[in-house]
Amino acid sequence: MNTLLVILNIILFLLIISGLYLMQKKHISFSKRVFTALGIGIVFGFALQFAYASNHNLLLTSIDWFNIVGSGYVKLLQMIVIPLVFISILITFTKLKLSNNTGKIAALIISILVGTTAIAASIGIAAALGFDLKAVQIEQGNAEISRAKAIEEKFNEIKDQTYPQKILELIPENPFLDFTGARPTSTIAVVIFATIIGIAYLGVKRKNPEQADLFAKIVESFYAVVMRMVTLILRLTPYGVFAIMTKAVATTDIDSVLKLGKFVIASYVALLVMFIIHLILLAISGLNPLTYVKKAMPALSFAFTSRSSAGTLPLNIQTQTQQLGVSEGIANLAGSFGLSIGQNGCAGIYPAMLAVMIAPTVGIDPLNPTFILTLIVTVAISSFGVAGVGGGATFAAILVLSTMNLPIGLAGLLISVEPLIDMGRTAVNVSGSMTAGLLTSRITNELDVDVYHNSKPDVSYQS
């Protein structure tokens, strides 16, 4: 009987996939298909959870089959992250789009990412204080205790690593190892490696133009093939979003969400305020924030459902270049740096909220101005330091809490609602990197304003 129900679930899943495919065949816009997939995924997920609440194993078996589409799509995106970053950075040198001021642009992008993370920390502090969040309000069960032990083990791996050592981790000692994504800092290491090759290319171009021209043609050929791969994989976005959203909703622990509802609401209020800050910054720079929302929403929706900034990188870069008018070089730098530097959601709001919640457990007044100022500065600096140990909210929380002399293990208090909160954090992270790319392009006068204001909201990925 259980096998028949699993087969029925798979058939329903495939019928919905077929419906999304028919929408593509009818040339319905990419963004409409993504939002349709998102909505159907929510409804289907709730239906599965309601139908199989008493048979959790059957639900998990069905989800395991759905993962072929959802997790498979994320894996395909992650597959092309490193080749996309490498070839896109390199081609900016062969086309002389960015080479004269690469250092200035990189510094500007990092400054915006870290600066907005300091703002995010302030918002996180205000949210935690405004909602009166305290760690003692959360009951610690087996899941929380297990998570605390895991976090303390992570801390032991990095506690003796100094900031200079973290910076050294960014330098590619073995670029072939970094091409495999073996290290947490592999993406930035590949950016540095591609930049060094690009600078070497410029030197060869001055002394031996013929060899440089041959190299440039090879790079352009590889770039064309990689971008074609990106287009092919991005066509699958609606299907991936549907499968991932179905899993997220169907496996959400409703009881935990209800118990920790105040913490979830406070987190999303803070994340929404930070997103509004992004829009305000764009408005100040003279860009219509509503246009940004309309064009960026498919990428942000995928970031929300997938909980993967790295997986969203191809869509992030495509959105910046094709929809928002950001140059390829700046878009790639902003997207790549945004994976592990200055993550507004994971490295800004989250650790700041945790610190305020945990402070009273060790006798610290979270309303103390000195504590608040120190926390904001610590979060901002740590958001850059995360790049040296790998991105993610857990590492960010470890760095901030340890620096503030707060209990590391308490970072696992929200483990039961972590996936739900992480969806919003990832979307804000991606929005932060796109905002950094837009603002940098605007400041350096490299933004194609006509593309930004073009009313066509999305790419169809039909051909």
Write the CATH number for 91: 1.10.3860.10
- The one-letter code for the residue type at 88 is S
317 neighbors 459 (Cβ within 8 angstroms): no
List the one residue out of 303, 339, 246, 335 whose CA is nearest residue 426: 303
What would the mean pLDDT of 280-298 be, rounded to a whole number? 93
Tens of pLDDT, residue by residue over 85-109, are: 888 888 878 876 555 577 788 889 9
Percent of the chain with pLDDT over 90: 33
Domain assignment present for residue 462? The answer is no
Q: What is the pLDDT of residue 43?
A: 93
Tens of pLDDT, residue by residue over 61-79, are: 999 999 999 999 888 988 8
383 neighbors 343 (Cβ within 8 angstroms): yes
Q: What is the pLDDT of residue 388?
A: 44
Domain assignment present for residue 460? The answer is no
Tens of pLDDT, residue by residue over 407-451, are: 877 666 666 677 788 889 999 999 999 999 999 999 998 899 989
Q: Report the C-alpha gap between 158 and 101 in whole angstroms.
A: 34
User: Is 90 exceeded by the pLDDT of residue 180?
Assistant: no
Domain assignment present for residue 348? The answer is yes
State the CB neighbour count (10 A cutoff) for residue 18: 10
Domain assignment present for residue 458? The answer is no
Number of independent structural domains in the chain: 1
The residue range of the domain holding 138 is: 2-453
Tens of pLDDT, residue by residue over 324-355, are: 999 888 888 888 888 878 889 888 998 999 89
Q: Report the C-alpha gap between 228 and 280 in whole angstroms.
A: 35
211 neighbors 204 (Cβ within 8 angstroms): yes
Q: Report the C-alpha gap between 98 and 326 in whole angstroms.
A: 12
Residue 343, CA distances (Å) to 398, 434, 463 in order: 15, 11, 34
Domain assignment present for residue 463? The answer is no
3-class state of residue 205 by DSSP:
helix
Tens of pLDDT, residue by residue over 25-63, are: 998 888 788 889 989 999 999 899 888 875 678 888 999
List the one residue out of 160, 165, 199 whose CA is nearest residue 385: 165
299 neighbors 165 (Cβ within 8 angstroms): no
pTM: 0.81
Q: What is the pLDDT of residue 390?
A: 44
What would the mean pLDDT of 305-317 be, rounded to a whole number? 84
Q: How far does Cα 20 stand from its chain's mean position?
A: 25
255 neighbors 264 (Cβ within 8 angstroms): no
Domain assignment present for residue 461? The answer is no
